[in-house]
Amino acid sequence: MGATRHCSQFTGAISARGTNAMGNKCVWVIGDIHGMSDPLRLLFQHIRSFDFDRGEQSKLVFLGDYIDYGPSSREVIDILLAAEEEWPTVFIAGNHDDMLLHFVNQTDILEQYGNVWFNGNGGQTSIVSFDRHPQVAQKLFLDRIRQRPFKAEDFVLEDQYLDFFQRMSYAHQDSIGEGEQAVNFAFTHAGLYQKARARSYDPPDISIERQLGLTTFDAYHACHRNSRVSPDALHLWNRVEPDTRFGDFILVHGHTPTLYLGQFWEDIGNYNASLARPFVKFISPQPHGHHHTDWPERTCFERSLSDVISVNVDTGAVFGGALTALILSEEELLENQTMKYLQVRLDRSYREGNMDGMRLVFRQAPE
């Protein structure tokens, strides 16, 4: 299988500050996996090679939705638990992972909204993946035909898996570089809440700092209960198109597959969803990307890093797109103004894949 690198080059505001001696920090940000274990294994092979070549260990941030739809949810968590022994890791909760916790814990939210995990969200595939007893599958599917509800007590989730889901973080922050050169990133599964883009019945503004402080299951759900904000407005379910930056942060998120982004967002420029590449959202108007003359694997934008609102790395692996990892390297981002990304592209079977890569290039338009 061929391996190439996906990259994104940023210039403008950062290059205007000049460059100093850089560190070697590197953060990989992995998008929605959805029970697809094979591309995840391929991705880890490349990360190991990358770390060996540079002689330093990377940090891995996963953006959630580890389970559902795909056939190998249990295997995915096994791979992630092993990765935790190999790299510094952060596991962000996705809405699908959160639905599992509501089902297992039989929470008040489950009582209020019903078992949405089984309502077109792929929960059944995860049930049979984690609990391999034949009677579980029989009860799950036969009871559905007989209109008998499958209950939490019918499902055994082994301790190491329950512990994984209970330890997930609901938001994370990190910086690449130090001092004036630092680029601040926020990591959540879905979009952050912005009052300017909210619905009329949503509550007053919830600060970015407060949202990023909601790092646990209890804190996150207490916020939407106490603030009377709908669950789909916060950063597990939010698909609202942002129009301004999130304070000093560039948001890196997943949740909305870029294959279908045009169904949810209006200002996507000339983005070609069929290519299954990460989507970079800018302060309006969205620029048109074009291929670099000398490096056709790069997509160039005549905008600066300071105009970037967010990067969506859910490129629809489970829908036959790609599993994407954004590479935030201190040397590349600050010295070369480059943000790389690696993709494992999927075929129709969702069980095989190959490495593929491109580049996104951002340049300050001449004045």
Among 142, 166, 190, the domain-final residue is: 166
* Ramachandran class of 111: left when φ > 0, alpha when ψ lies in -120 to 50, beta otherwise: alpha
* Per-residue confidence (pLDDT) for residue 14, from 0 to 100: 21
Cβ neighbors of 186 (< 8 A, separation 6 or more) are 171, 172, 173, 192, 208, 212, 246, 249, 250, 251, 252
In 3D space, the residue among 340, 358, 325, 295 whose CA is nearest the CA of residue 63 turns out to be 325
* CATH value at residue 197: 3.60.21
pTM of the full structure: 0.87
- Band the pLDDT of 93: cuts 50, 70, 90: very high
CB 227 within 8 A of CB 193: no
Q: Which helix (H) or strand (E) holds 280?
A: strand 279-282
**Residue pLDDT, tens place only, 255-266:** 999 999 999 998
Same domain? For 203 and 270 the reply is: yes
Q: Supply the range of the domain harboring residue 161.
A: 108-166
CB 264 within 8 A of CB 241: yes
Within a domain: residue 353?
Answer: yes
Rg (CA), the chain: 20
3-state secondary structure of 176: strand
Among 166, 185, 212, the domain-final residue is: 166
CB 334 within 8 A of CB 328: no
Same domain? For 178 and 162 the reply is: no
Among 135, 150, 166, the domain-final residue is: 166
Within a domain: residue 102?
Answer: no
3-state secondary structure of 300: strand
Same domain? For 40 and 189 the reply is: yes
CB 187 within 8 A of CB 63: yes
Same domain? For 212 and 352 the reply is: yes
**Residue pLDDT, tens place only, 120-153:** 899 999 999 999 998 898 888 876 676 778 889 9
Same domain? For 229 and 132 the reply is: no
Within a domain: residue 1?
Answer: no
Within a domain: residue 367?
Answer: no
Split into its structural domains, the chain has a count of 2
Q: Which of 274-283, 330-339, 347-356 has the lowest mean pLDDT?
A: 347-356
Within a domain: residue 331?
Answer: yes
Kindly tell me if the per-residue pLDDT of 20 is higher than 50: no
The residue length of the chain stands at 367
Same domain? For 172 and 162 the reply is: no
- Provide the 8-state DSSP code for 92: B
The β-bridge relationship of strands 249-253 and 308-312 is parallel
Same domain? For 135 and 281 the reply is: no
Quote the Cα angle for 322-326-331, to 5°.
150
- Band the pLDDT of 10: cuts 50, 70, 90: very low
Distance CA 340, CA 194 (A): 28
Within a domain: residue 282?
Answer: yes
**Residue pLDDT, tens place only, 211-248:** 999 999 999 999 988 887 887 889 999 999 998 999 99
* Ramachandran class of 153: left when φ > 0, alpha when ψ lies in -120 to 50, beta otherwise: alpha
Distance CA 230, CA 238 (A): 10
